[in-house]
Amino acid sequence: MIFQDTKITRRSRCLLVAVVLLVLAGAAAAATTAEKAASYVGVTSVSIEPGVFMQDDTGTIVVEVKNSGSDPVSIARAEILSSDIEVLNYQTYDSVGTIGPGNTMKFTFHVRAGVRDGVYFPMFYLDFTDAGSLRYPFALEVESTPVSVSVVDAPASFSPGTKNKVILSVNNPRKNTVSSVTVTPGGDGIRTTQGSTFIGTLAADEAKSVTFEVWAEKETALAFDVSYRNGLNIHHSVITIPVTIGGRETAAELVVNNVEVSRNGFLVTISGDVSNAGLEDAKAVKVTVGSPADPTDPNPVYVIGSLEPDDFSSFEVTCTVRGDDPVPLVIQYRDSEGMLFEKTTPISIRASAASSPGSGNPSGISQGSSTVQRRPGGLFGFGNGIGKIPVTEIVVIIVAAVLVIVAWRKGYLASAAEKIRKRRQG
């Protein structure tokens, strides 16, 4: 009886061992099958936005995996492993599920690059439920070079109350595209036609120019703030231009030359030439006179029109003047923007030689040599200067007088008179 019990126990043990071996073999087979199925799961793409981070930028990393096998694969969790890059949603994929055969699955991670410039290699980690894990390192670059802005053209000095043009160049020296690029001017005493200018997207190494029309009322600092997005992160680049107040170097500059003045009682006629010695067109040019003179017919206002640089035009204006005070010659013109300018030159109308304008002559207008035409007066009505005596006429008169005297002394005149008398009597 004891022998039989021992025999049964041995059989039970053998059966148990066989069952365990079968279970282990099944588990091993199942594990092998799961591992084989998981081996068909791989990373197909990694997209990073922004393409290149700036220091402290936040962005996204999207990892796409695909099951290219014929069996479903169970995934326990997914995460980004890095000691440098901070994952802001690190618990999002603690429980994933199953990815079917032929299917794809995307994992989106929000990260922050609170590190210095350089290239870092975070790792995408996929933990399978029954078949180990998948590890996939990728590169993430941090580079903090900003968008640059430079001045292409700006006046050396700003003319108060006048529109000045400033041209900027905005350049993206980064390796990735930036978006929403906007340029905003500002400054104390600064006024512009546009509050800001939207440039939009700048690709890597792309530059775009932008033009601003600026009025400066005083000496100040003109700042241009260039804002842009690197991914979803807003950054700024600022350039400042010192503003000095002065005359415009390229403006139209009208010069008066060859002035002639004639006077008949109270009526004065002023004629001459107006030249544009500046670098811009002068438009709607008009010449007239100011107080104490009164413009009068036939030419109270002389309209010249437009004068290009290095061009000139003659003019003639008439006015009435009481007294010998200088007459203000007034020239009005407009620039290409329609801004009105007025320059005044004093013109002497005294009987003595005309003098050139003094140091008080306004900038932008200068008077050349002037000639005053006087009414006849002095000896024989030929004027008072010895250089103005008509020598030829005087010589003719003297010769005639000498001939008359000689004829009288020789009796030619008496003889001729006697002949004339006899003819009349006969």
Mention every residue, 6+ apart, whose C-beta is less than 8 A from residue 166: 151, 153, 154, 155, 211, 212, 213, 214, 222, 241
Q: Would you state the pLDDT for residue 21?
A: 52
The DSSP code for 313 is: E
Strand 267-276 to 312-320 pairing: antiparallel
Residue 175 DSSP class: S
Cβ-based neighbour number of residue 388 at 10 Å? 10
Supply the Cα-derived Rg of the chain in whole angstroms. Answer: 51
| Domains 47-142 and 254-373 belong to one CATH topology | yes
Would you list the DSSP string of 87-140? ETTTTTTS--EEE-TT-EEEEEEEEE--S-SEEE--EEEEEESSS-EEEEE--E
Backbone angle region of 187, left / alpha / beta, with phi > 0 → left and psi within -120 to 50 → alpha: left
CATH 2.60.40.10 fits 148-243, yes or no: yes
**Rounded distance, CA 80 to CA 61, Å?**
9
Q: Report the 10 Å Cβ neighbour count for 166.
A: 20
Question: Do the strands 327-334 and 282-289 form a parallel or antiparallel pair, or are they unpaired?
Answer: antiparallel
The tally of CA atoms less than 13 A away on the side-chain side of residue 100 is 1
Residue 29, Cβ neighbours under 10 Å: how many? 10
Q: Are 308 and 277 in contact (CB under 8 A)?
A: no
CB atoms < 10 A from the CB of 105, how many?
19
| The pLDDT value given to residue 8 | 59
Query: For domain 254-373, which CATH number applies: 2.40.128, 2.60.40, 3.40.50, 3.30.530?
Result: 2.60.40
Name the residue among 345, 340, 338, 353 with its Cα closest to residue 388: 353
How far apart, in whole angstroms, are the C-alpha atoms of residue 177 and residue 182? 14
Delimit the domains of the chain by residue range.
47-142, 148-243, 254-373
What's the confidence (pLDDT) of residue 323?
86
- Residue 22 CA, distance from chain mean position: 83
Length of the chain: 426
pLDDT tens-digit profile, the chain (426 residues): 444 555 557 666 666 665 555 554 444 445 567 788 889 999 999 999 999 999 999 999 999 999 999 999 999 999 999 999 999 998 999 999 999 999 999 999 999 999 999 999 999 999 999 888 999 999 999 999 999 999 999 888 887 767 888 999 999 999 999 999 999 999 998 999 888 999 999 999 999 999 999 988 888 999 999 999 999 999 999 999 999 887 655 678 889 999 999 999 889 999 999 999 887 888 999 999 999 899 999 999 999 999 998 899 999 999 999 888 899 999 999 887 777 788 889 999 875 333 333 333 333 344 433 333 333 333 333 333 334 456 666 777 887 777 777 766 767 667 766 777 766 665
Tell me, what DSSP letter sits at residue 156? Answer: S
Please provide the DSSP assignment of 235-259 as one string. Answer: EEEEEEEEE-B---TTS--EEEEEE
Question: In the CATH scheme, what is the code of domain 47-142?
Answer: 2.60.40.10
Which of 330, 337, 329 is closest to 282 using CA atoms? 337
* Residues contacting residue 182 through CB under 8 Å, at least 6 positions apart: 196, 197, 198, 199, 226, 227, 228
Neighbours of 298 (CB within 10 A): 8
Phi, psi of 146 (to 5 degrees): -85, 170
